[in-house]
Amino acid sequence: TGNREKFRPTYHFSPLYGWMNDPNGMVYKDGEYHLFYQYNPYGSKWGNMNWGHAISKDLINWEHRPVAITPDALGTIFSGSAVVDHHNTAGFGAGAIVAIYTQNSDRQVQSIAYSTDNGRTFTKYENNPVLVSEARDFRDPKVFWYEGTQRWIMVLAVGQEMQIFSSPDLKDWTFESSFGEGYGAHGNVWECPDLFELPVEGTGEKKWVLLCSLGDGPFGDSATQYFVGSFDGKKFICDNQPNVTKWMDWGKDHYATVTWSDAPDNRRIAIAWMSNWQYANDVPTSQYRSPNSVPRDLSLFAVGDGIYLQSAPSPELLKLRDISKKRSFRVNGTRTVKELVPGNEGAYEIELAIRNQHADVIGFRLYNDKGEEVDMQYDMKEKKFSMDRRKSGDVGFNENFPMLTWTAIEDGKEELKLRLYVDKSSVEAFGDGGRFAMTNQVFPSEPYNHIDFYSKGGAYKVDSFVTYKLKK
C-alpha cells in the first residue's frame, strides 16, 4: 500500500484490486444496495470482463464480495442490469434477483442468471442466450417492470439507437420499438441505457427519462446524455427538439450512468463510472483502476419550456461530515484560506453560498504546497461555471487529460450555491442543488489544502464558506 495507494478514494467505491468500468446490475433488496460492475480480476487494464460485486446498507460503506458472474462459452460478461422478480414471472422463485447482461464474443447476446440468496450466488439460466441479433453492437440491457402492461421492459443499446423489448417472464423477448434516429448526440455508438419515470418538481406532472452514454461528449469521448419524454410500455417519445442535446454532467469523468432498481422511498439513485475511455487505462494508479462517482439522487425541474435532470449528491453523503468550519467574508482582489481542514488527507466537502456584487469573475482556486491546483470560476458575463485541471498534479499520462470543462449557468440567481466533493483523486461540483454537476478526476501529489478566492472586475460576498472533513 503506501504510495501505490495514494490516489485511492476514501468515500468513493473502488475495486480492491484489478480493473473496473461500468456500474452494473444495481438493485436494492431487503435493506441492501447491490452494486455489480465491469471487472477484470486479472489485471488493472480492461479485459476478461466479469461482474464484480459489492453490497452496502448506506451507499457509502461497501462490502467487497466475490466475483458474481464469470465468462463462459457464450462470451465474457458485459454490462447489464438486475431486477427483483417479485411475482416469480421467470419461475426462479418469488423475490429472486435476476441479472440480465450482455455476453461478448464475436457477437453480442443477452443472457440471464438468478440468485435466490439475496445476491450471494448466481445460477446461469440453462437456455441462455435469451436474445440474439445480427447487430454488431447489441448490448447493455436495462430491465424494469412496467405495471401498465404487466410486462418486463428491456432497453438495449443497438448501434446508435435504443431498442425496446418486452417480456412476460424475462426469457421470451418481443421487439417493440426503437428510439434515437436524429435525436441528440451521435458521434459514436450508444451504450448503457436506462429508462425511468420521475415527477417534475413543482408541477404535479411526471416524465420519462432515457439515459444514454456515448463516446462523443462535450469535452471529448465519454459522457452521458439524456432525453425527456413519455413512455407507454411500447414506445419512448421524446419531448425535446431532435437537435437538442442534454448532458447529465459537464466534467470528463462521468460515464455509463445508470440507476438502482427498487430503491426505497421512490428514490432514483444513480452512479457513474468516474473515468473516460480516452485515458482510463493510463491513469496513474496501479493496484486498481477507476472508481465510481458519488451516488446522486435524480429529479426533474422545469426552466422556460425545457425539462432538465437534476443530480444532487445522495443524502447518505451527509453522514460523512466530520469536523466543520464556517466562514463568511467579502472578496475584492484575493482572499486566502490556508489549512482547509485539520489533518487534511484529501477527503473533504466545501459548501459555498455566494452573492455577487459587481464581479465579472468569481473565482476560487484549490491548491497544495507543490503549486498544483484546480481553478474554478463563475464567469458572470459569459454565464458559465468552469473547472480547470490543467495544473492539477500528474496530468502527463495522456494528452487528453489536461482540460478545462465548463457549463452554462442559469441567469438571475440571487445566490450562487455550490457543493464540492473532493476526494484523493477527484473533484465533483454540484451547483444549485445539482442543477448542474461536473465530475473530474485529478492526481495531485498531495492534497489541495488551501484555497484562494479571487475576484475580477468588482467584488462579491461569500455569505457562507463551510468546509467539512469527510470521514467514513
Active site residues: 22
C-beta of 190: minimal distance to ligand FRU in Å? 9
Instruction: Tell me whether residue 193 or residue 393 sits nearer to ligand FRU (CB atom).
Output: 193
Position 191 contacts ligand FRU (CB under 6 A): yes
Q: How far is the CB of 122 from ligand FRU (least distance, A)?
A: 18
SS percent in the chain: helix, strand, coil, step 5? 5, 55, 45
Is residue 181 exposed (0-12), middle (13-18) or buried (19+ Cβ within 10 Å)? exposed
Contact pick of 11, 33, 78, 152 for ligand FRU (by CB under 6 A): 78
The answer to whether residue 21 forms part of the interface with ligand FRU (CB under 6 A) is: yes
The DSSP output letter for 126 is T
Q: Is 116 helix (H, G, I), strand (E, B) or coil?
A: coil
For residue 428, the SS3 value is strand
Return the CA Rg of the chain: 22
In the list 26, 49, 300, 416, the residue contacting ligand FRU (rule: CB under 6 A) is 49
Q: Determine, following the binding rule CB under 6 A, whether residue 276 of this chain makes contact with ligand FRU.
A: no
Report the C-alpha gap between 98 and 96 in whole angstroms. Answer: 6
Q: Specify the DSSP class assigned to residue 4.
A: G
Site for ligand FRU in 239-258 (CB under 6 A): 256
Give the nearest distance from C-beta 215 to ligand FRU in angstroms: 8
At which residue does the C-alpha cell 446461469 appear? 124
Candidates 59, 60, 131, 192; binder of ligand FRU (CB under 6 A) is 192
Q: With CB under 6 A, what is the number of residues at the site for ligand FRU?
A: 12
Least CB distance to ligand FRU at residue 213 (A) = 6
Minimum CB–partner distance for residue 101 and ligand FRU (Å): 8
207 binds ligand FRU (CB under 6 A): no
Q: For 277-323, where are the alpha helices, taking DSSP H only?
A: none
Does 432 interact with ligand FRU (rule: CB under 6 A)? no
Task: Candidates 14, 50, 79, 405: give the one binding ligand FRU (CB under 6 A).
Answer: 79
Which residues 116-155 are close enough to bind ligand FRU by CB under 6 A? 139-140
Residue 52 corresponds to which amino acid?
G
Question: Long-range contacts of range 371-378, CB-CB < 8 Å, 24 or more positions apart?
Answer: 372/444, 372/445, 372/446, 372/448, 373/448, 374/427, 374/440, 374/442, 374/448, 376/420, 376/429, 378/354, 378/409, 378/416
- The site for ligand FRU (CB under 6 A) is made up of 21-22, 38, 49, 78-79, 102, 139-140, 191-192, 256
